[in-house]
Amino acid sequence: MNVKNLAAGTLLVAGLAAMPVSSMAATAESCVPGEATPESYTWDFKAEASKLLDQIRVDAVKAHGQADLIKTYNLEPISWQGHAEELTAIKREINDMGGKLCRLEQIRRVLAPWQQQTIDRIAPQVRLMANSATDAISFLNLNEGNFWEPVYQKYTSNIAQDSGRISRSVTNFEEYAKAHSEEMHLQKSLGVKAGA
């Protein structure tokens, strides 16, 4: 892999970093809602959103692992190609998250409040992660061998922190939704009114 080719592949990441939440993944796929179909009226959008959010959590976990690997590369003598490969993988994960966020924004109005709050929490974190990845890729393109530089280490550390926050946020909201559902089920089975 040539580092200069890596720069050409960063356009989507750079575009993600500058876009507002509602159009963050527009470069990956259209965020414009399609025409309603008969299936649209019976589709389980909340289940789709839960699946997408969980997939975003998985993408964030993968990106976190890749960023942690880069951090170990900063301590070991390794070629810039190793850094470039991990940054490319991180870029892919960020772009995947952006596409999923795009779909979530399309169906947002029919989602559960906890799902909407999850989107609100993670979308800025994905943007921050995209910014850090773009900065790391730009640094790598200009400084093929200076991995010990604090600025590069800060970019990769930011990627790890942001991806960790995304993963924790989704997990926490999923746990909240599960606990809330169990509470509602218990209230119904016991005949207890909410808040009693």
CATH code where residue 154 lies: 1.20.1420.10
Give domain status of residue 166, yes or no: yes
Q: List, for residues 27-41, the tens digit of each pLDDT value.
A: 334 566 666 666 666
Could you give the percent of the chain with pLDDT greater than 70?
Answer: 75
In a domain, 28, yes or no: no
Asked whether residue 43 is domain-assigned, the answer is: no
* Residue 36 resides in a domain: no
Which comes out higher in pLDDT, residue 3 or 176? 176
Q: Is residue 83 part of a domain?
A: yes
Whether residue 24 lies inside any domain: the answer is: no
Residue 107's domain spans which residues? 3-16+49-190
Bigger pLDDT: 146 vs 127: 127
Location of structure tokens 């997408």: 52
Q: Which long-range contacts (CB under 8 A, 24 or more apart) does 26-35 make?
A: 26/102, 27/98, 28/95, 28/98, 28/99, 28/102, 29/99, 29/102, 31/102, 31/105, 31/106, 32/106, 33/106
The pLDDT assigned to 180 comes to 84
Please give the span between the terminal C-alpha atoms of the chain, in angstroms, as a whole number: 63
Segment 81-136, tens digit of pLDDT: 888 899 999 999 999 999 999 999 999 999 999 999 999 999 999 999 999 999 99
Model's pTM, two decimal places?
Answer: 0.75
pLDDT in tens, 45-72: 999 999 999 999 999 999 999 998 887 8
